[in-house]
Structure 1
């Protein structure tokens, strides 16, 4: 027969397999009482007397409970102390609601009640982006950009936006696309990077202020901008052609800078020479006019003498500029021709072949030639007179 089947005798309930046929199910109060007695024995407490249905005394003594409560309070109070560094600010939340922003120093807040979130407000953070986008002239470019930022408002950084750095990334991409979309490809690839970075920084800060992220952008750099790799060779050829164009322009400008001043100098020199010639002609004309006026006055005083003098001056000028001499023999009809030009050429040839002569030797030779001419002239005169007789 099973143990829980009704049995004989005086048992009215199920049969207990551990004995005690008249005992019911275990009492929960009695089990708790036994546990308290055991704990009291461990911690030095006293258990009161009691039967199966009677209540016992307290498991812990009052002094022990006070010590435990005091120790728990001390531990709880010590857990509330924390240190805020100089470069940090702390946002305090009480039961999830914003309470205050704590400045640097030793601070205390009730633990398990307040939540303290520390934020470094001086650390410069950086984020990099790489985007492929269209320019204003519908060309594709690849731009690498880096953003440096700090947290200037820890309240907004912690509470206003769920993930401020993700918001920063999205805002930076949007600002970059907007600025590059309004710029031509040549500026994006060459000297327009600085302006693009400045415009992106301004627009990005406007976005972050609108989102209330508490982030301050300190610097935006366009690290690199290039065409896609598929068309890199064609862009390199275009850039090389542009550089050749600039080089040729510079060479032409340098040539112009050398020629134009020289031409201006030559023109100025000719102008100065013309002015000098003009002054010279005017001065000569005035001098000749003055000389003629004075000569006219002298001619009126002595016409014969003045006429003779003018004739001699004219003959002297004519003979002084000619290389041929005509000698009129007195009393005869023959005129002797003296080729001084040929004599000069012969003397030059002799000077080339012979050593150079000094001035005394030349004077002697001249005197000899003159004397010989006189003798010849005298001989010719005497011969003509005899023929006349």
Structure 2
């Protein structure tokens, strides 16, 4: 086992292995490299992903779901998530709780009031190449653009409208404006949906003031409803009274017309008599007028010479 110098003698088989080990190591290394190259030559793309294949920084193609081949160490693959994501604007979610972010949610309105309004933005990648190459953080850019669009829209509304009736219109305007700007900036992102989560005054004092205003509005609505109810009850009655007045006036009108027509007929008849006997008719009219003016007057006709006076009875028919 030991030589003359006291060294352990190596077995004969060990020398053979030592002679062959460099070749074996090279073979194993080559095998590993080949396996690595084969592994690097194929890549798969999931259903909700798209892959950008590049070579020396130049885009060769965009792949959808499936298994693909690439040249290892020369061509690179960048996977882009194409699913829909959501982000809160004006608040953040931590441990299942919504935490208000005042720097984002508090905005000014057209009547110079403050309102705390929260949005939920749903988005996804529309162009994977633009999303990967045109910006470093497209989500951050998109959120800042969304904040700008929200502020520019909310400032056009009064605080009462923002909190109550204008939420749908505001979110529609913001969504349209944001999508237009995303298209112009070409950062490869698109808006799926944008909705107002909540809108309220930013402080407790203002909250109480708004509650008082809301109570006053409800009182106003109640008064208006009561007035409309009174109107609906009294209007038919007033219309009926107006119709009666109109009918009475029409009846009086017809009566006066008939009376006038009768007087005209009587006058025409008298005029016909007058044309036949002017003097007698004139005297008769005179006496009849005197009877009407002085009903107690007793008229005596005399020639001025005779001593006997004859009373003149009424020309009208006797009772």
TM-score range, shorter chain: 0.5 to 0.7
Match of 1:108 in 2: 69
Instruction: Check whether the contact 1:124–1:148 (CA below 8 A) recurs between aligned residues.
Output: yes
Q: SS of the counterpart of 2:118?
A: strand
Shift of 1:162: 1.1
Match of 2:87 in 1: 127
Shift of 1:143: 0.5
Q: SS of the counterpart of 2:197?
A: strand
Q: What root-mean-square deviation, in Å, do the aligned CA atoms of Structure 1 and Structure 2 show?
A: 4.3
2:242 to 264, 267, 270: 267
5+ residue gaps, structure 1: 1-19, 21-34, 43-57, 294-309, 316-389
Match of 1:28 in 2: none
Residues 40 and 276 (structure 1), Cα distance of their counterparts in 2 relative to 1, 3 Å cut: farther
Distance 2:129 2:15 in 1: 51
Shift of 1:144: 0.9
Match of 2:173 in 1: 199
Distance 2:250 2:79 in 1: 89
Shift of 1:226: 0.5
Match of 2:208 in 1: 233
Shift of 1:285: 7.9
Distance 1:287 1:136 in 2: 75
Residues 82 and 59 (structure 1), Cα distance of their counterparts in 2 relative to 1, 3 Å cut: closer
Distance 1:59 1:289 in 2: 148
Residues 69 and 132 (structure 1), Cα distance of their counterparts in 2 relative to 1, 3 Å cut: same
Shift of 1:257: 3.4
Count of residue correspondences:
262
2:45 to 72, 81, 84: 84
5+ residue gaps, structure 2: 6-13, 91-104, 269-315
Distance 1:38 1:178 in 2: 80
1:287-326 map, 5 Å? none
1:258 to 233, 247, 257: 233
Residues 223 and 263 (structure 1), Cα distance of their counterparts in 2 relative to 1, 3 Å cut: same
Does 1:98 pair with 2:72?
no
Instruction: Check whether the contact 1:127–1:147 (CA below 8 A) recurs between aligned residues.
Output: yes
Query: What TM-score results when the alignment is normalised by the length of structure 1?
Result: 0.54
Deviating more after overlay: 74-83 vs 144-153: 74-83
Shift of 1:167: 1.6
Shift of 1:166: 1.6
Residues 285 and 207 (structure 1), Cα distance of their counterparts in 2 relative to 1, 3 Å cut: closer
Match of 1:303 in 2: none
Distance 1:88 1:264 in 2: 73
Q: SS of the counterpart of 1:156?
A: helix
**Deviations 1:3-30, CA, capped at 9 Å, x for gaps:** xxxxxxxxxxxxxxxxx9xxxxxxxxxx
**Deviations 1:164-184, CA, capped at 9 Å, x for gaps:** 112222222222222223322
1:34-53 map, 5 Å? 38-41=17-20
**Deviations 1:131-164, CA, capped at 9 Å, x for gaps:** 1122222212101111122211111112211111
Distance 1:229 1:39 in 2: 83
Does 1:218 pair with 2:192?
yes
Residues 39 and 141 (structure 1), Cα distance of their counterparts in 2 relative to 1, 3 Å cut: farther
Residues 175 and 288 (structure 1), Cα distance of their counterparts in 2 relative to 1, 3 Å cut: closer
**Deviations 1:261-291, CA, capped at 9 Å, x for gaps:** 4312321232123324544665688799999
Instruction: Check whether the contact 1:144–1:223 (CA below 8 A) recurs between aligned residues.
Output: yes
Residues 118 and 262 (structure 1), Cα distance of their counterparts in 2 relative to 1, 3 Å cut: farther
Name the structure where strand makes up a greater proportion of residues. 2
Distance 1:249 1:170 in 2: 44
Shift of 1:240: 1.0
Query: What TM-score results when the alignment is normalised by the length of structure 2?
Result: 0.65
